[in-house]
RNA sequence: GGUCCCGUAGUUCAAUGGAUAGAAUAGAAGUUUCCUAAACUUUAGAUGCAGGUUCGAUUCCUGCCGGGACCA
């Protein structure tokens, strides 16, 4: 049986105590994990509630009688933990002892690492961002980057060793389209000669390719060709396809151009990554993994995992697993996406042997990753079972999906600039920045602007599609990073005045808001655990907002600096200090910084 | 055609099968001699439809309606 220990989280202690009491009272065996414990709803007396229904039936007792016996037993067995209980219908409401909260604050108020767990030697790989090198990043990439980075941090906080990776989709027909258009129309333009950020410059030629293709197709259709044939026969399309063949053949001029244009794109991406704080421990390049993928397909063919059609294309039959047949190599021998993903999975396994390999990729690829995992399992890849597709929903506009062709794509760099500008405008409006240096102001605008965007994109459950309305831009009031940052800045202001002499031991009771805050703080480690299990930064965002909101109510109601008694002052300083620490940790896990003043 | 996902206040989001479905925003009404009003307080407003399982369903099952994605 699991012992109750002092620094175990409260909710776990209640579960364990309940499990023990059930055994002592009725010889009823129920594991702590199966006992439902919630926070007590505010309209009832108590702090935590044990939901009794699940064991009412096997014990053949009325909920009231069971609740009263259990409550009594819990009180007697854990006098330091519970002081009172009441039973309403099937709910046993427990009141936590005052001393428990005071001990907790005394023990943890100065713990800068509160909520973080020690390393335990398990390795998690998280692949995210994964851009194509033919155009700049957009809002959807930002959701991806923020999610991947944040989930890595959340795993780290829960004691895992993290490897952040990125696969650059640096080869294929899409790159060739940009290259052809650049050859045709650029007249040698470079990022240096134009002053345009490299990823945008290359993206511009990708767009030009599309425009030129459309024009050529229209001409061919006008001369009697079908739309479908025209798209294949258009000279610019044929040129792009020829270029892909030349690339695969290693033709020096094509390779040189490819390297040059990709280097422009990487320089552009790096600038954006630096600004948003995305970083990677290891970057893979598709151009390096697709050949390995083809080898593995060949091996799989020998093993009988794959089968070859008469036309030479290679397939896997997954009908027995409830899926379809899926192509893994084209009839001309070229690689499909799946081919290189197999190569990448094997390479990751060889290099890192991670216990879990997370792919942060949009939900349009759900089927693809189901197939990838199955293929890896059938190929006998040791880490295949650890493959997990973290599937997130698209970011949509009120009018629907962002579409390149309709020019409705929200560019990443643009939206970052807009957010920071908006942060600057609002900050000036507030007029509270006396004594800030120019650098400090600059930093504050970035902190608020980027924080706002990150919070906005992370506060929604990753699995769900979300809507972004560029007209309304992003609010800096309500459920936002700004709200949390503001609470933090107000606490820091108090702590600057009052200093750090807050280590004293406190006696006496807690007012409702003092207790609510302490209780919320106590939940933080459990919240981080939940966020990790659900791979959802939104859990952390929601918690941070909840804590900041409770603190703001507390702040409006009670004075810290002019507390009624010296004991109250120490108590409130401990609460304030710990609230600041937890708010900072929570926002940092979302990639959001906190300002000392704002 | 097949597979999968999603429908909650005007809007954007919550709710491991549990108590009277929470927030935010927009709306209405208030709060500045006192630690930062980017704040606080009060107020009104929602589970697509029809069945089923259950002591109890936003949650699980079936059908329908509506939206989306993927596979050819």
- Write the DSSP string, A151-183: HHHHHHHTT-EEEEEEEEB--SHHHHHHHHHHH
Q: In what order do the strands lie in the sheet containing A314-317?
A: A307-308, A314-317, A325-329
CA of A156 to C1' of B72 (A): 42
In words, the CATH class of domain A415-589 is: mainly alpha
Note whether A168 and A286 are within 8 A (CB). yes
> φ, ψ for residue A283 (rounded to 5)?
-110, 130
CA of A427 to C1' of B42 (A): 29
**Higher-confidence position of A497 and A321:** A497
β-bridge partners, A125: A163, A357
> φ, ψ for residue A211 (rounded to 5)?
-65, -45
CA of A57 to C1' of B16 (A): 21
Confidence grade of residue A404 (pLDDT, cut at 50, 70, 90): confident
> φ, ψ for residue A316 (rounded to 5)?
-120, 140
Q: How many CB atoms lie within 10 A of CB A525?
A: 23
**A298-317 confidence digits (pLDDT tens):** 999 999 999 998 888 999 99
Q: Taking residues A319-335, what's their average pLDDT?
A: 86
Helices (H) and strands (E) in chain A, counts: 21, 14
Note whether A475 and A82 are within 8 A (CB). no
Instruction: Determine if strand B comes within 7 Å of the CB of A302.
Output: no
CA of A394 to C1' of B28 (A): 36
Q: Find which nucleotide's C1' atom is closest to A52's CA.
A: B18
Note whether A280 and A129 are within 8 A (CB). yes
Integer Cα distance of A418 and A565 in angstroms: 47
Token pair of A19, please? Answer: 């499990």
CA of A580 to C1' of B13 (A): 25
**A352-390 confidence digits (pLDDT tens):** 999 999 999 999 999 999 999 999 999 999 889 999 999
The rounded mean pLDDT for chain A is: 93
**A226-237 confidence digits (pLDDT tens):** 888 898 899 999
Confidence grade of residue A500 (pLDDT, cut at 50, 70, 90): low
Torsion of Cα atoms, A451 then A454 then A457 then A462, to 10°: -130
Instruction: Determine if strand B comes within 7 Å of the CB of A130.
Output: no
Instruction: Determine if strand B comes within 7 Å of the CB of A89.
Output: yes
Confidence grade of residue A6 (pLDDT, cut at 50, 70, 90): very low
Note whether A391 and A461 are within 8 A (CB). no
Integer Cα distance of A176 and A235 in angstroms: 14
CA of A538 to C1' of B52 (A): 34
Q: Find which nucleotide's C1' atom is closest to A597's CA.
A: B36
Task: Sketch the domain layout of chain A as residue ranges.
Answer: 10-96, 171-277, 415-589
Q: Is A357 helix (H, G, I), strand (E, B) or coil?
A: strand
Q: Is A49 helix (H, G, I), strand (E, B) or coil?
A: strand
The answer, yes or no, to whether residue A169 has pLDDT greater than 90, is yes
CA of A33 to C1' of B12 (A): 35
Note whether A31 and A92 are within 8 A (CB). no
Q: Which helix (H) or strand (E) holds A336?
A: none
Q: Is A521 helix (H, G, I), strand (E, B) or coil?
A: helix
CA of A454 to C1' of B63 (A): 41
The answer, yes or no, to whether residue A7 has pLDDT greater than 60, is no
Integer Cα distance of A97 and A78 in angstroms: 10
**Within 327-346 of chain A, which residues have Cβ less than 7 Å from strand B?**
327
Integer Cα distance of A520 and A575 in angstroms: 11
Q: Which residues contact A120 (CB under 8 A, 6 or more apart)?
A: A159, A160
Nucleotides of B under 7 A from a protein CB: 3-6, 11-16, 18-20, 23-26, 34-41, 55-56, 68-72
Q: Find which nucleotide's C1' atom is closest to A478's CA.
A: B24
Integer Cα distance of A557 and A575 in angstroms: 14
Q: Taking residues A191-209, what's their average pLDDT?
A: 96
Note whether A212 and A141 are within 8 A (CB). no
CA of A552 to C1' of B38 (A): 12
**A104-138 confidence digits (pLDDT tens):** 999 999 999 999 999 999 999 999 999 999 999 99
The answer, yes or no, to whether residue A140 has pLDDT greater than 60, is yes
Residue A18's alpha-carbon distances to A9, A40, A83, A271, A355, in angstroms, are: 14, 16, 15, 54, 34
**Within 482-521 of chain A, which residues have Cβ less than 7 Å from strand B?**
482-483, 486, 489-490, 492-494, 497
- A48-51 vs A395-396, strand pairing mode: unpaired
- The pLDDT, as a whole number, for residue A101 is 96
Integer Cα distance of A173 and A317 in angstroms: 27
Integer Cα distance of A418 and A420 in angstroms: 5
Q: Taking residues A313-323, what's their average pLDDT?
A: 88
Q: Which residues contact A34 (CB under 8 A, 6 or more apart)?
A: A54
In words, the CATH class of domain A10-96 is: alpha beta
Measured at the alpha carbon of residue A298, what is the angle toward residues A297 and A301, in degrees to the nearest 5? 85
Instruction: Determine if strand B comes within 7 Å of the CB of A455.
Output: no
Instruction: Determine if strand B comes within 7 Å of the CB of A49.
Output: yes
**Higher-confidence position of A323 and A556:** A556
Integer Cα distance of A400 and A407 in angstroms: 13
CA of A395 to C1' of B6 (A): 14
Q: What is the DSSP letter of A394?
A: P
Note whether A383 and A354 are within 8 A (CB). yes
**Within 569-598 of chain A, which residues have Cβ less than 7 Å from strand B?**
597-598
**A427-485 confidence digits (pLDDT tens):** 999 999 999 999 999 999 999 999 999 999 999 999 999 999 887 778 899 999 999 99
Instruction: Determine if strand B comes within 7 Å of the CB of A527.
Output: no
Instruction: Determine if strand B comes within 7 Å of the CB of A449.
Output: no
**Within 356-395 of chain A, which residues have Cβ less than 7 Å from strand B?**
363-364, 366-368, 394
Instruction: Determine if strand B comes within 7 Å of the CB of A555.
Output: yes
Listing DSSP states for A414-466 in one string gives HHHHHHHHHHHHHHHHHT--TT--HHHHHHHHHHHHHHHHHHHHHSS-TTS-E
Instruction: Determine if strand B comes within 7 Å of the CB of A90.
Output: yes
Percentage, residues of chain A above pLDDT 70: 98
Instruction: Determine if strand B comes within 7 Å of the CB of A448.
Output: yes
Instruction: Determine if strand B comes within 7 Å of the CB of A558.
Output: yes
Token pair of A449, please? Answer: 């602007």
Token pair of A173, please? Answer: 């027909």
Q: Which residue is nearest to nucleotide B32 (CA to C1')?
A: A556
- The pLDDT, as a whole number, for residue A474 is 85
- The pLDDT, as a whole number, for residue A33 is 87
The answer, yes or no, to whether residue A2 has pLDDT greater than 80, is no
Note whether A453 and A590 are within 8 A (CB). no
CA of A471 to C1' of B26 (A): 15
- The pLDDT, as a whole number, for residue A187 is 95
Closest CA to A355 of A161, A119, A160, A124: A124
The answer, yes or no, to whether residue A4 has pLDDT greater than 80, is no
- The pLDDT, as a whole number, for residue A5 is 37
Closest CA to A498 of A554, A434, A562: A562
Integer Cα distance of A308 and A461 in angstroms: 42
**A543-592 confidence digits (pLDDT tens):** 999 999 999 999 999 999 999 999 999 999 999 999 999 999 999 999 99
Q: Find which nucleotide's C1' atom is closest to A322's CA.
A: B3
Token pair of A260, please? Answer: 């040059």
Confidence grade of residue A501 (pLDDT, cut at 50, 70, 90): low
CA of A567 to C1' of B72 (A): 72
**A30-58 confidence digits (pLDDT tens):** 888 889 999 999 889 999 999 999 888 88
**Higher-confidence position of A499 and A583:** A583
Q: Find which nucleotide's C1' atom is closest to A364's CA.
A: B69
Q: Taking residues A397-423, what's their average pLDDT?
A: 90
Note whether A267 and A191 are within 8 A (CB). yes
């Amino acid at each position: 049986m699991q012992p109750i220990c002092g620094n175990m989280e409260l909710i776990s202690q209640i579960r364990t105590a309940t499990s023990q009491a059930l055994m002592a009272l009725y010889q009823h065996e129920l594991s702590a994990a199966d006992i439902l414990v919630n926070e007590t709803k505010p309209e009832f007396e108590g702090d935590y509630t044990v939901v009794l229904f699940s064991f009412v039936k096997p014990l053949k007792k009325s909920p009231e009688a069971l609740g009263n016996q259990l409550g009594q037993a819990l009180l007697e067995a854990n006098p330091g933990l519970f002081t009172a209980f009441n039973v309403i219908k099937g709910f046993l409401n427990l009141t936590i002892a005052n001393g428990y909260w005071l001990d907790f604050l005394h023990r943890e108020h100065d713990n800068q690492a509160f909520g973080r767990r020690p390393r335990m030697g398990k390795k998690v790989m998280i692949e995210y961002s994964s851009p194509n090198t033919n155009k700049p990043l957009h809002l959807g990439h930002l959701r991806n980057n923020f999610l991947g980075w944040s989930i890595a941090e959340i795993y780290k906080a829960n004691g895992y060793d993290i490897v952040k990776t990125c696969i650059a989709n640096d080869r294929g027909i899409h790159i060739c389209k940009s290259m052809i258009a650049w050859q045709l129309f650029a007249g040698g333009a470079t990022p240096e000669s134009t002053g345009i950020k490299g990823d945008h410059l290359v993206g511009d030629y990708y767009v030009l390719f599309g425009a030129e293709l459309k024009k050529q197709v229209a001409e061919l259709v006008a001369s009697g060709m079908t739309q479908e044939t025209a798209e294949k026969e258009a000279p610019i399309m044929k040129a792009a396809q020829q270029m892909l063949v030349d690339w695969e053949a290693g033709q020096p001029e094509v390779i040189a151009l490819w390297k040059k244009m990709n280097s422009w794109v990487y320089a552009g991406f790096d600038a954006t990554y630096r600004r948003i704080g995305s970083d990677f421990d290891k970057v893979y390049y598709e151009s390096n993994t697709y050949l390995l993928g083809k080898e593995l397909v060949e091996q799989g063919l020998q093993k009988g995992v794959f089968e070859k059609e008469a036309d030479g294309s290679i397939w896997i039959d997954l009908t027995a697993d409830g899926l379809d047949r899926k192509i893994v190599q084209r009839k001309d021998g070229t690689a499909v996406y799946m081919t290189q993903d197999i190569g990448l999975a094997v390479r990751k396994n060889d290099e890192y042997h991670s216990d879990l390999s997370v792919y942060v990729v949009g939900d349009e690829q759900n089927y693809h990753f189901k197939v990838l995992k199955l293929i890896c399992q059938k190929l006998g890849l040791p880490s295949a079972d650890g493959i997990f597709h973290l599937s997130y929903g698209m970011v949509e506009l009120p009018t629907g999906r962002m579409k390149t062709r309709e020019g409705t794509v929200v560019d990443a760099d643009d939206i970052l600039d807009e957010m920071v500008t908006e942060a600057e405008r609002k900050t000036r409006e507030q007029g509270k920045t006396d004594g800030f240096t120019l650098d400090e102001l600059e930093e504050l605008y970035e902190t608020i602007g980027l924080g706002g965007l990150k919070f906005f994109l992370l506060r929604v459950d990753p699995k769900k599609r979300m809507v972004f309305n560029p007209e309304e831009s992003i609010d800096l009031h309500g459920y936002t990073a700004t709200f949390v940052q503001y609470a933090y800045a107000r606490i820091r202001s108090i702590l600057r005045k009052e200093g750090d002499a807050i280590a004293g031991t406190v006696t006496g009771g807690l007012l409702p808001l003092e207790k609510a805050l302490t209780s919320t703080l106590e939940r933080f480690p459990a919240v981080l655990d939940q966020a990790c299990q659900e791979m959802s930064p939104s859990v952390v965002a929601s918690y941070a907002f909840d804590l900041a909101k409770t603190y703001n109510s507390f702040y409006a109601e009670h004075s810290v600096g002019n507390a009624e008694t010296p004991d109250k002052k120490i108590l409130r300083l401990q609460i304030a200090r710990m609230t600041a620490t937890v708010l900072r940790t929570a926002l940092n896990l979302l990639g959001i910084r906190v300002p000392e003043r704002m």
